[in-house]
Amino acid sequence: MQAGVRVAPSPLLISRRTLVAGSAAIAVAGCATTAPRPVSLFGAACLPRVNVSANRVIRTIAGLRPYRPSGYRVETQPLDGKTIVHNYGHGGAGISLCWGSSREAIALGLPGHAGPVAVIGAGALGLTTARLLQEAGFPVRIYAKALPPNTTSNIAGGQIMPGSYYDRGAVTQNWLARRVLATDFTRRRMQIMVGDDYGVRWLPTYDEGRLRSAAPNPVFPDRQALPYNAHPFPAENMLRYRTMYVQTGRFLASLMRDIRIAGGTIVVRDFATPSEVLALPERLVFNCTGLGARALFGDEELEPVRGQLAVLIPQPEIDYAYTVRQGYMFPRPDGIVLGGTFEHGEWTAEPQPEDIARIVERHRGLAESWRCGAEA
């Protein structure tokens, strides 16, 4: 929670305390002759189970997260009469940070500028930068080696919850404060894009590993620690909260549409050197090339963190997501996304059959140990 911010307890928190206290009172009054029945806080203790098996895999994917230990880079660089604004290196959090990071980038680059603007890159960062530039009244041309659906951003599972995007020992306090603002702005922007058009939706999420505190929080107002009998996972310390999930292919396609409707143009072009960038007619250039910035602008700090996913046949009845020891599961209309791996320094963007088999097996084991209806 932010310092100085007080948050009133949500109705769910109040009802949780009431329920827990109530069940204890019943056990005492009944002289403990019968075990207390499990308390379902959400009427959801028995969640539908993901049907996991190797023969339900419809595609496998591998992507390279653009990771920088010191965090994503938003910075201006004057170069031979042009201004380059870097906006790359978002690791495993580019979808969760895109609007906020791009807002930070244009706030750095636009003051004093007049005329058209170039954006290099058509992933989540390039497209959100382009939209915000258009909203600020500037004509935009995007240049990119690859367009959706062939970007890393298309591969992302799409959870709006930044993770795996910096090394705590390598970041500054200033950067930590900036990323809070970037996360917040992205959440606000995604909230007004909820719906089929942009492929954004809210889902309850069961989380074993992160957000250990169940304290009220303005970002996760309904976050709660669940008693063991209120969920089917074979895990202690389960939290439940709601966050947004983005069907990334749909999101990026809709952004490209919006950019074109607003008069933007998109050119397929691969830049090999900064001097090719300097030859562009636009004086202001946003560099949103993700991992490509390593070769293009010589950023040796950027490294790939490979992620592999197995996608299962869609199961429309799965209306929750989970992040637990065995991996994460995000249900999407285009398939049940099972993750995942975090492989530092791995440059091969190809799924490895033995890793995929392990991912599927871990999630299958989880589904098998589902405690649906358990009365422990």
Residues at the interface with ligand FAD (CB under 6 A): 63, 65-66, 88, 90-96, 120-126, 144-146, 151-153, 155-159, 270-271, 288-290, 292, 296, 307, 309, 340
Residue number with CB closer to ligand FAD (239 or 338): 338
Residue number with CB closer to ligand FAD (10 or 355): 355
Query: Shortest distance, CB of residue 268 to ligand FAD, whole angstroms?
Result: 9
Residue number with CB closer to ligand FAD (66 or 232): 66
Residue number with CB closer to ligand FAD (238 or 246): 246
Residue number with CB closer to ligand FAD (138 or 271): 271
Chain-centroid distance, C-alpha 122: 17
In this structure, what token pair is assigned to residue 224?
A: 């709660």
Query: Shortest distance, CB of residue 376 to ligand FAD, whole angstroms?
Result: 32
Query: Shortest distance, CB of residue 344 to ligand FAD, whole angstroms?
Result: 13
Is residue 37 within 8 A of residue 375, CB to CB? The reply is yes
Residue number with CB closer to ligand FAD (216 or 351): 351
Buried b / exposed e across 156-178, counting CB within 10 Å, b at 16+?
A: bbbbbbbeebbeeeebeeeeeeb
Query: Shortest distance, CB of residue 47 to ligand FAD, whole angstroms?
Result: 20
Query: Shortest distance, CB of residue 232 to ligand FAD, whole angstroms?
Result: 23
Query: Shortest distance, CB of residue 25 to ligand FAD, whole angstroms?
Result: 42
57: left (phi over 0), alpha (psi -120 to 50) or beta: beta
